[in-house]
Amino acid sequence: MSRSPRIPLAWKNLTHDRVRMTLFAAGIGFAVVLMFVQLGCRFALLDSSTLLLEQLNAELVLAPRHQTTVVIRSPFPRQVLDRARGASGVEKTYPLYIEYSRSILRDANSEERDRGKSRSIRVLGVDPDAFLLEMPQLDPHGPESRTAELRLTGRALFDRKGKRGPGGESRYGPIHVGRHTDLAGTHVHFSGFIDLGSDFGADGTLIVSEETFRRSLRDSASSPGMDLIDLGLIRLASWADPAAVQEELRSLLRADGVEIYTRKEFIEHEQHFWKENTPVGYIFGFGVGIGFLVGLVICFQILSGDIRDNLSAYATLRAIGYSNRYLIALVFEESLLLAVLGFVPGLIFSVGSFELLGYITELPMRMTSGRVAFVFLLTVVMCVVSGLIAVRQAMKVDPAEVF
- Per DSSP, the residues of 108-158 read -SHHHHHHT-EEE-EEEEE-TTS--B--GGG-TTSTT--HHHHTSTTEEEE
- Mean pLDDT value across residues 377-403: 75
Q: Which helix (H) or strand (E) holds 97?
A: strand 90-99
Pick 165 or 32 by higher pLDDT.
32
What 3-state DSSP class applies to 199? coil
- Mean pLDDT value across residues 151-163: 88
Is residue 177 predicted with pLDDT exceeding 60? yes
Q: Write the pLDDT tens digit of every residue in 39-80.
A: 998 888 888 889 999 999 999 999 999 988 898 888 899 999
Q: Are 150 and 139 in contact (CB under 8 A)?
A: no
pLDDT-above-70 percentage for the chain: 84
Label residue 373 exposed, middle or buried (CB < 10 Å: 0-12, 13-18, 19+): exposed
Is residue 171 predicted with pLDDT exceeding 90? no
- Mean pLDDT value across residues 342-355: 93
Residue 110 CA to residue 52 CA, distance in Å, equals 33
For the whole model, what pTM was predicted? 0.79
Q: Write the pLDDT tens digit of every residue in 83-92.
A: 999 899 999 9
- DSSP, res 364: -
Q: Are 161 and 197 in contact (CB under 8 A)?
A: yes
Residue 208 CA to residue 162 CA, distance in Å, equals 16
Residue 81 CA to residue 20 CA, distance in Å, equals 67
pLDDT band at 334 (very low <50, low <70, confident <90, very high): confident
pLDDT band at 9 (very low <50, low <70, confident <90, very high): low
**What is residue 250's predicted lDDT score, i.e. its pLDDT?**
93
Residue 56 CA to residue 126 CA, distance in Å, equals 11
